[in-house]
A and B are shown apart, each in its own frame.
Chain A
Amino acid sequence: MTVNDFTGLYIFMLAAFAGWVIIGNVPAILHTPLMSGSNFVHGIVVVGGIFALLNATNALEQAVGFTAVLLGAGNAAGGYAVTVRMLAMFKSSDAKPQHHKHARAHAHHLKKA
């Protein structure tokens, strides 16, 4: 697939609008997970790193390409791990999470002691 200069501009323009609109609807309470989630999304750069590394023709390019994949993989994996962890914590009052029961049992225990 080839992307010429103007197609590229169109893609950039539409993607920027889409990002602006989608993110504009995210409530402030989710700003941290949103930030780490979008942080995860740009981890797609690892794909570009793999392309560059596979096309490397000398030691210098291999070293730099290796760095690109290493960092990109860290970006994607780390961004995903922290985002999932954070989002798992957001609960409403209706969905009584186990966490509450633990805390209550703990409090009960303390009272007895």
Chain B
Amino acid sequence: MIDMVSIALIGASAALLFVLTVWKRKAPKQFRLIEAFSHLYRSIGLSVEDGTRLHVSLGQGGLLTPRGGSALAGLAMLRHLSERTSVSDRPPIASTGDPTLGLLTQDTLQAGYVAAGVDDLYQPTTGRITGMSPFGFAAGAMNIIRDEHVSANVMIGHFGPEAALLTESAERESIVTLGASDDVTAQSILFAASQHALIGEELYAAGAYLGASASHPASLTVQDVLRWVIILVLLGGATAKFAGVI
């Protein structure tokens, strides 16, 4: 029964995503305002103009774990940030705490350079694996924030409580931090410790807000549809329980 529901959910989501992606190619994009993304736009422009750089931290979401979704969302964001800021005097630096994610980070950064037509400027050392344990990773990423002329710190992916160490480091250097994690504890920490925190599924909206392909806005619509389905199922279940049907 559970398998059938799962297959139906995945199948319906896939079909909806496909249809909406085709449809959204022509439709104008309309999103609600998320302040964090507006500030990110400004930070991108600032980093290119004043010769500073972005630090994009993708956390520790290994691709073989359920945390891989947030890592993939982070990579989608990194792809666009690297394309837009690769011509800067100081190109963006990306840090991760997972080896598989580290390899993809370097590949994604390079793809951004290729798309911007400056592939010869790409330096492999701008994609870094700073540590393999949560605190080891944080300690390595803190050095980047402190020593590498960073003007904006973007944290997007899977982080735990160690996120506070990165935000604190950025705060000391007067660097703006945009933080998003799929972990509830890290979200509460980022809400308190960063200037701009993305809560819940906003993490997965980054690609759409940064102007990625039509599949990104389409996936937001799919999420909205599924959310309403879940709300209706929850309300229906509660009503049925209240009425003694189940």
Q: Real complex partners, A and B?
A: no
